[in-house]
Structure 1
Amino acid sequence: MTKAQALVVDDESDILDLLKITLGRMDIRALTAMTVIDAKHQLERNHFDLCLTDMSLPDGNGIDLIRHISEHYPDLPVAMITAHGNMESAVAAMKAGAFDFVPKPVDLQLLRRLVGSALRLRETAAAGGDARSAGGANLIGDSRAMEQIRQMIAKLARNQAPVFITGESGTGKELAARLIHGQGPRAAGPFVAVNCGAIPQDLVESELFGHKKGSFTGAVSDKEGLFQAASGGTLFLDEVADLPLPAQVKLLRAVQEKSVRPVGAQQEVAVDARIISASHRDLNLEVDKGHFRQDLFYRINVIELRMPALRERPRDIPALAERMLLRIARHHKGQPAMTLSPDALSALMDYGFPGNVRELENILERATALCEGSVIAVGDLYLPQADGPALAAPVQLDESVPLEDYLGEIEKKAILDALDETRWNRTAAAKKLGMTLRSLRYRLAKLGIE
């Protein structure tokens, strides 16, 4: 590739000199501008691989320039230089299309990492890429909804803005996060996923930010947190709404300052991880209830990606089912992949799938195990007779069944559903059911659930 070239826009000559020298040491040629008009003229006359712009300029502001670049030079990554602590400007810049931000006074190490990530976009673009897959994972479906998701993922992969992924359980939120990571300049770095609801509350800060030896009982050695483990890559915070409020305060600081303080440490540690978070809950409602900090929601929800429910894209079910049946066959070596009868496929396309893609996979795995032939019939699917919660319709009690047994079956179904939705993570299931882990263990033993 030819030598990279950057446009640096700032009305302070000493800042321009500092950035020009720093970029020069990275073998990057820097051209400068002190106004929005000068910057636009430079963009017309030259090709750039990166733009750094200050927020306050004599004839406008950096966000005006970012919008201009997003409209006329969509492939050019632009980063905002913000005043220290002015996170509102940084968020506004990223909503306008900025690649990332760097606060003043400029941390040169942070700047070098930012520039490196921006220049890797050239390599990503040159290598091509498909928003359908990353790291072996696939985004299957040709419906309009999935095409829009793929287009959005391609855009999100080109910047470092925090992304919040919404959607019902089982819609593929973690897969979307992996695709954003895999299509972007951090693809070579680690992708660290954590289910926030599965971490015991008294260990959340230690898990996320690390701890020093002796900082609490059981801390027998120094341990790096997940933020440090994700350095140079992406940290995916699944079910972020489950974080306790004290941890939310520290997470807010980590997002704003790009640094964390391990439990028991005196100094903060710089971290370089892109944050992608997700939840099946409505965080606006959680904010209204006082369960989630509004300022944190504002920081992590710079860009929102909504994953559609499977019932919103029924035309994707045939392709999804075919791929799942092939995968199931591979797990049972030597067994050919089963197929669905036309009636079975029609029944799946008419079903509401409250558990979404994950439920489809469970249904097909069960049908494969129970089907005696090579073609799965409607009867092999064992689909529920009606969509929705079990108690949506009036309850019809069978007088021959004792009430205690009837209620036990309802309790058993609720527990199994919660375990299935949390992939049999007992801590997360207990939280979902509103009970303690000890209480859940007692009920599992009582109901004979292994």
Structure 2
Amino acid sequence: MNKAHALVVDDEADILDLLKITLGRMDVQATTAMTVDEARRHLDMGRFDLCLTDMNLPDGSGIDLVRYIVEHCPDLPVAMITAHGNMESAVAAMKAGAFDFVPKPVDLQLLRRLVGSALKLRSQSGAGGEVNVAGGRLLGDSAKIEEIRRLIAKLARNQAPVFITGESGTGKELAARLIHAQGPRCEGDFVAVNCGAIPQELVESELFGHKKGSFTGAVADKEGLFQAAEGGTLFLDEVADLPLPAQVKLLRAIQEKRVRPVGAQQEVPVDARIISASHRDLTEEVEHGRFRQDLFYRINVIELRMPSLREHPQDIPLLAARIFDRIAREHTERGPMKLADEALEALAQHPFPGNVRELENVLERATALCDGAIIGAHDLYLPQTEAAAAGDTGPDSAVPLENYLGEIERQAILKALDETRWNRTAAAKKLGMTLRSLRYRLAKLGIE
């Protein structure tokens, strides 16, 4: 492969010299420019593998250059050099299409890693195609799923924080894993953490690590999840469950790309891409003071919404076939299972509040209870099927919608509790919610 070529744009000669020397030691040839206009002329005349630009330039903003590159050189990753503490400009640059940012004073270690990630895109260009990850692959032929695949491929090519929204069971972690696996950090670790599962008093230690003796029980130094995800991706699932004090420290870690372990005197640089997710509406959480607005602004640079199964029911046959394949591999005593036409129709009409995860549970239960190889609608034990058998026609009857949905929720919770022998912690995990949320729903629905 030919020697990499970078365009460096800054109006300070000493910064240009520092960046040129650093890139040279990485065997990257650097062309320099001191204005937006000069940078555009270089871009029109030559081909580059990376662009580094300062925010404030004599004849315009670095964001103007980012937009120009996105329009005229869409495959060129461009990183923004921002003033210390000016995260607003970094967020604005990434929303405009920047690959990543590096704050001043420039940490050369972080800069080298940023350059390395950007240059990996060059070796990946043209590879195309979706990859398989530990959680599987995104299944479906519908337009909704095709659009999600396209967005994932696009998000994989930059390092901007991504916030994944969607109901429980829609595959938010799978989407995060695919973004990681298709991007330049694929060789690094993908570290996933459910923020709601960490005891509040241990959140800071889990995320940032601690030093020996920093608190009772700290018998040795321990690295945090940020350090464990070094060079890779940190996935913060159910980020809305973080307590407010931890949100302050997370905000600083994202802004400064540095963390301070509990009990440490010095901060340490960290290089991890942040992907977060929640099934809650964070805008509503911010309005009620339960989530910091400035943190929401930082993590929600790009939003990816995972569709509910109700929005692409035409993918149910394909999903069901794949689920049956997995069940057959895990339970070799059972032969291959199929769905009768009326069962497929019943599944297509079911609202699936638990989405794909609920579909898996329904089919696993049906496989266990069905005596033959063909699963009928009555073998599914869907809430509306049971209601119809009792003379209730579901949402089209005189039953209020809220009561109907409450009954669906009740059935899903009871099923999870039954499958976990009424272990509330395990049931909450199966339902994709926190134990606190499950307790609230149990009280609301009057389930003892």
C-alpha separation between the residues in 2 aligned to 1:428 and 1:94? 32
For residue 270 of structure 1, report the CA deviation from its aligned partner.
0.9
Alignment of 1:155-170 (within 5 A): 155-170=154-169
Q: State the TM-score, normalized to the length of structure 2.
A: 0.90
State whether structure 2 residue 208 is matched by structure 1 residue 198: no
Q: Secondary structure at the match of 1:291?
A: coil
AA at the equivalent of 1:274 = R
Q: State the TM-score, normalized to the length of structure 1.
A: 0.89
Aligned equivalent of 1:14: 14
AA at the equivalent of 2:429 = R
AA at the equivalent of 2:434 = A
C-alpha separation between the residues in 1 aligned to 2:330 and 2:341? 25
Counterparts in 2 of 1:431 and 1:216: CA distance versus 1, 3 Å: farther
For residue 132 of structure 1, report the CA deviation from its aligned partner.
6.0
Contact 2:168–2:432 (8 Å) recurs in 1: no
Counterparts in 2 of 1:267 and 1:432: CA distance versus 1, 3 Å: farther
Q: Secondary structure at the match of 1:220?
A: coil
Q: Secondary structure at the match of 1:51?
A: strand
Aligned equivalent of 1:399: none
Q: Secondary structure at the match of 2:125?
A: helix
Which of 375, 378, 403 is the equivalent residue of 1:393? 403
Contact 1:135–1:182 (8 Å) recurs in 2: no
C-alpha separation between the residues in 1 aligned to 2:272 and 2:440? 32
Percentage of matched positions with identical amino acids: 71
Counterparts in 2 of 1:168 and 1:427: CA distance versus 1, 3 Å: closer
C-alpha separation between the residues in 1 aligned to 2:298 and 2:217? 33
Counterparts in 2 of 1:414 and 1:336: CA distance versus 1, 3 Å: closer
Q: Secondary structure at the match of 1:393?
A: helix
Aligned equivalent of 2:414: 413
Contact 1:237–1:275 (8 Å) recurs in 2: yes
For residue 29 of structure 1, report the CA deviation from its aligned partner.
0.5
Aligned equivalent of 2:218: 219
Aligned equivalent of 1:400: none
Aligned equivalent of 2:122: 122
Aligned equivalent of 2:390: none
Counterparts in 2 of 1:214 and 1:84: CA distance versus 1, 3 Å: same
Aligned equivalent of 1:151: 150
Counterparts in 2 of 1:106 and 1:340: CA distance versus 1, 3 Å: same
For residue 144 of structure 1, report the CA deviation from its aligned partner.
1.2
For residue 129 of structure 1, report the CA deviation from its aligned partner.
3.7
Aligned equivalent of 2:421: none
C-alpha separation between the residues in 2 aligned to 1:212 and 1:34? 44
Contact 1:338–1:376 (8 Å) recurs in 2: yes
C-alpha separation between the residues in 2 aligned to 1:424 and 1:265? 37
Q: Secondary structure at the match of 2:434?
A: helix
For residue 394 of structure 1, report the CA deviation from its aligned partner.
8.5
Aligned equivalent of 2:111: 111
Alignment of 1:358-377 (within 5 A): 358-377=357-376
Aligned equivalent of 1:403: none
State whether structure 2 residue 79 is matched by structure 1 residue 69: no
Q: Secondary structure at the match of 1:422?
A: helix
Aligned equivalent of 1:231: 230
C-alpha separation between the residues in 1 aligned to 2:171 and 2:264? 37
Q: Secondary structure at the match of 1:133?
A: coil
Q: Secondary structure at the match of 1:153?
A: helix
Q: Secondary structure at the match of 2:402?
A: coil
Q: Secondary structure at the match of 2:80?
A: strand
Which of 425, 428, 447 is the equivalent residue of 1:422? 428
Contact 2:416–2:431 (8 Å) recurs in 1: no
Q: Secondary structure at the match of 1:267?
A: coil
For residue 105 of structure 1, report the CA deviation from its aligned partner.
1.4
1:267-318 deviation digits (Å, cap 9, x = unpaired): 1111111000000000010001100000000000000000000001111111
C-alpha separation between the residues in 2 aligned to 1:435 and 1:265? 41
1:353-409 deviation digits (Å, cap 9, x = unpaired): 0110000000000011111111111111111116789993389xxxxxxxxxxxxx9
AA at the equivalent of 1:337 = P
For residue 58 of structure 1, report the CA deviation from its aligned partner.
1.4
Contact 1:66–1:98 (8 Å) recurs in 2: yes
* Structure 1 range deviating more: 353-362 or 378-387: 378-387
Aligned equivalent of 1:404: none
Q: Secondary structure at the match of 1:134?
A: coil
Q: Secondary structure at the match of 2:51?
A: strand
C-alpha separation between the residues in 2 aligned to 1:244 and 1:8? 41
Q: Secondary structure at the match of 2:274?
A: strand
Aligned equivalent of 2:240: 241
Alignment of 1:78-93 (within 5 A): 78-93=78-93
1:224-256 deviation digits (Å, cap 9, x = unpaired): 011110101000000000000010000000000
C-alpha separation between the residues in 1 aligned to 2:427 and 2:153? 28
AA at the equivalent of 2:174 = L
Alignment of 1:263-342 (within 5 A): 263-333=262-332, 335-342=334-341
Aligned residues: 426
Contact 2:168–2:431 (8 Å) recurs in 1: no
For residue 334 of structure 1, report the CA deviation from its aligned partner.
5.3
Contact 1:163–1:275 (8 Å) recurs in 2: yes
Q: Secondary structure at the match of 1:365?
A: helix
For residue 14 of structure 1, report the CA deviation from its aligned partner.
1.3
Q: Secondary structure at the match of 2:192?
A: strand
Counterparts in 2 of 1:121 and 1:394: CA distance versus 1, 3 Å: closer
For residue 419 of structure 1, report the CA deviation from its aligned partner.
5.3
* Structure 1 range deviating more: 330-339 or 352-361: 330-339
Contact 2:131–2:182 (8 Å) recurs in 1: no
Contact 1:132–1:150 (8 Å) recurs in 2: no
C-alpha separation between the residues in 2 aligned to 1:49 and 1:368? 53
Aligned equivalent of 2:378: 379
Contact 2:189–2:231 (8 Å) recurs in 1: yes
For residue 153 of structure 1, report the CA deviation from its aligned partner.
0.6
Counterparts in 2 of 1:209 and 1:48: CA distance versus 1, 3 Å: same
For residue 211 of structure 1, report the CA deviation from its aligned partner.
0.8
For residue 32 of structure 1, report the CA deviation from its aligned partner.
1.1
Aligned equivalent of 2:261: 262
Counterparts in 2 of 1:373 and 1:414: CA distance versus 1, 3 Å: closer
State whether structure 2 residue 439 is matched by structure 1 residue 433: yes
Aligned equivalent of 2:343: 344
C-alpha separation between the residues in 2 aligned to 1:130 and 1:420? 36
Counterparts in 2 of 1:305 and 1:365: CA distance versus 1, 3 Å: same
Aligned equivalent of 2:391: none
Q: Secondary structure at the match of 1:155?
A: helix
C-alpha separation between the residues in 2 aligned to 1:394 and 1:138? 33
Counterparts in 2 of 1:169 and 1:419: CA distance versus 1, 3 Å: farther
For residue 131 of structure 1, report the CA deviation from its aligned partner.
3.3
Unaligned 5+ residue runs, structure 1?
A: 396-408
